Amino acid sequence: MTSGPVEAAFPASLDGLDPVAEYATGLQATRVLRAADGTFWWWQRPGPRHPGPLTAPAVPVPPRPPDDPGAALLALPRQLGDGLLYRTPGPASAAAWLRDFRPAARLLVAGALASAARGLRALHQAGPPAPERAGPPPGLLRLRAWAVSDDELRRRARRFWGRRRTGLLLGWATEAAEGADPRRPVHGWASLGSLVPPLHSGRTALLTGPDLGTGRPELDLGWIVGDLAELAWRLPSFDRAPAPYDSAALRRVFLDAYGPGPDPVLTGRCAVLRIAVHLQDFARFQGWDDELLDYLSFTADLIDHEGRPALPPNPGDDHHDPA
């Protein structure tokens, strides 16, 4: 799929591109390369445990960039081998920039999150896709399949969560995917790892690919909010930076930039869905790790509170001033 907001002459191969970084999980391998003209290219391929190959998105997206110059561009890929090739404005994702505790790096991430929110709003307002191409994002489908599986994580989750919590998760997944009328296009995997700020100039890119689907806008909002909440829980050092650079402030920047309309209750529930999908993806594609027991406890608490702890406090409830 070549038409889309990020215009570029896609190379026919990776020959002549200089490697910048490479990392991989069982789900996906990513290679970052740089062309002689300074253009960055990200090649994402299926990891060793992924059924693969990765394929270009099937759900229609807006044919041109958002009119809002502050909105992130949806970086659409070109098929290359068994993977997808993206053009980006930088070599590192927002997730990578968050490892840098300098205020300038946090401001860069805050700006990228605001741009992502505005880009997602443009996507959500693009209108419903053709009915024959509608369907929930793959992450929700994996969660539903996992809920009836019998792997080690699922057996432990049955004992730890009980049927009620699992039933709530599946109900929220149905609400997020099928509760909209008409259903809207959603990114499906809007995350810190798919958000690429510009290194020097240009617009932030949001890698947009095989996770495109249809559903409620709150699904994409909850995905990024849940990403930030999980990071703050897993890495306490993430929140050592003073406001307005901590996790709660970044979540508020993102939601405020999106603007009014979404249901905060469903956004919180979708944040829990994002963490639950990450939990089962890790177990499936990386294998069992005792750290997952802590995740089960963390997620159980979020389910019991319908994701409210993942949402940032209201501006009047704390001292943060993220704007």
Higher pLDDT, 174 or 27: 174
Report how many domains make up the chain: 1
Q: Which of 23-27, 65-69, 173-177 has maximum average pLDDT?
A: 173-177
In a domain, 30, yes or no: no
Give the span between the Cα atoms of 302 and 74, in whole angstroms. 30
In a domain, 13, yes or no: no
Quick one: pLDDT at residue 247? 86
**Residue 42: pLDDT over 90:** yes
- Which tens digit of pLDDT belongs to each residue from 84-97? 999 999 999 999 99
**Residue 70: pLDDT over 50:** yes
In a domain, 175, yes or no: yes
Which residues does residue 184 pair with via DSSP β-bridges, in sequence order? 215
Quick one: pLDDT at residue 6? 44
In a domain, 102, yes or no: yes
Tokens of 292: 């997952």
In a domain, 291, yes or no: yes
- Which tens digit of pLDDT belongs to each residue from 270-300? 999 999 999 998 888 877 888 899 999 999 9
- Which tens digit of pLDDT belongs to each residue from 132-186? 667 899 999 999 999 999 889 999 999 989 999 999 999 999 999 987 666 788 9
In a domain, 14, yes or no: no
Handedness of CA 170, 218, 103, 44 (dihedral sign): positive
Give the span between the Cα atoms of 215 and 174, in whole angstroms. 9
CA distances 161 to 297, 298, 303, 315, Å, are 8, 11, 9, 33
Domain range enclosing 248: 91-317
- CATH number of the domain to which 157 belongs: 3.90.1200.10
pTM over 0.75: yes
In a domain, 171, yes or no: yes
